[in-house]
Structure 1
Amino acid sequence: MDKISKDVGDIQSRLLDHRPVLQGEIRYFLREFEEKRGFRESRLLDNLNKAVAEASEQAMPKCTESMQTNLYEALIRLEAANHMTQRIQQRELEAQNSTRLQECTQRHNEDWEEFLRLQAKLKQELEDEHARAVSRLSTQYSEMEKDLARFSPF
């Protein structure tokens, strides 16, 4: 019975106990990364850490200051350009309104001239009609005068 329990224990340790296999893999991993590569990854990480620290301490403040200065100058230039654009638009609008005003004035003058021509035409027609009426009346009165002279004893 002793032998059976010992064999069962050996079988169980071989099947279920993975510590010896894992310890071997761990030793291989350590030997691979520490001994063979000579702490190369550790040195690379240290170099990267130094570069990041240097960038955050020296380069970042310079970049931030330069960015703020340049952005302020760009903002001033953009505001000046915006102001100039608004002035140009205002002048264009005034010119457009002036052009419209000139067009309206010209149309008004043309309408006025047409009105004056129509009035002159109507005046001429009225004067012609008046002249005809005066002529007719003159003729009528001269005939009446002749008739009166015929009937009058003197």
Structure 2
Amino acid sequence: MDKIAQDVGDVQSRLLDHRPVINAEIRYFVREFEEKRGHRESRLLENLNKMVMESNEQMLPTNLESITQQLSDVAKRLEAANHMVERVQQRELEAQQSTQLQGNMERLKEEWAEFLKEQQRLKEDVDEEHAKAVGHLSTQYSEMKRELTKFPSI
């Protein structure tokens, strides 16, 4: 029974225990990148890091100054463009209002002409009625005068 337990333990360690395989892979990796290549990648990475740091120290202030200047120029240009757009909008509004005023003036002139025509027509109607009334009164007074002439004066 001990032998069976030992055999089962050996089978389990071979099937489920991956530490020996992983340790071998780690040793191979270390040997490949550290021993064979002689720390070449780490030196390259250190050199790159050093170059980046120097570039940041030298270029960053210069870039910040140029960026600040460019942003200032852009802001000025945007401000000028905004001012121009406002002037164009103002001119458009004035032109539109002028067009509306002209339209209103023409409409008012047409209404005034129609009003004058209506007044003229009403005046002619009143004059006609007045002429009829005068004619009617004239005939009435003429008849009354004739009738009065028929009677002897007292």
TM-score, L = length of structure 1: 0.77
Q: How large is the RMSD of aligned CA atoms in angstroms?
A: 2.7
Report the AA paired with residue 91 of structure 2: R
TM-score, L = length of structure 2: 0.77
Instruction: Give, in angstroms, the shift of residue 134 of structure 1.
Output: 0.9
Identity %: 55
Which string of whole-angstrom CA distances, capped at 9 and with x for unpartnered residues, describes residues 121-147 of structure 1? 010011011111111111111121111
Which residue of structure 2 lines up, in the alignment, with residue 70 of structure 1? Answer: 70
Which residue of structure 1 lines up, in the alignment, with residue 152 of structure 2? Answer: 152
Which string of whole-angstrom CA distances, capped at 9 and with x for unpartnered residues, describes residues 7-49 of structure 1? xxxxxxxx89x89x95x77665443223311221122112211
Q: Does 1:107 align with 2:107?
A: yes
Q: 2: CA distance between counterparts of 1:25 and 1:147?
A: 152
Q: Where do 5+ consecutive residues of structure 1 fail to align?
A: 1-14
What is the 5 A alignment of 1:1-154?
Answer: 28-153=28-153
The 4+ residue runs of structure 1 with deviation greater than 4 A are 24-30
Aligned length: 140
Q: 2: CA distance between counterparts of 1:133 and 1:150?
A: 25
Report the AA paired with residue 41 of structure 1: E
Q: Where do 5+ consecutive residues of structure 2 fail to align?
A: 1-12
Q: 1: CA distance between counterparts of 2:151 and 2:52?
A: 140
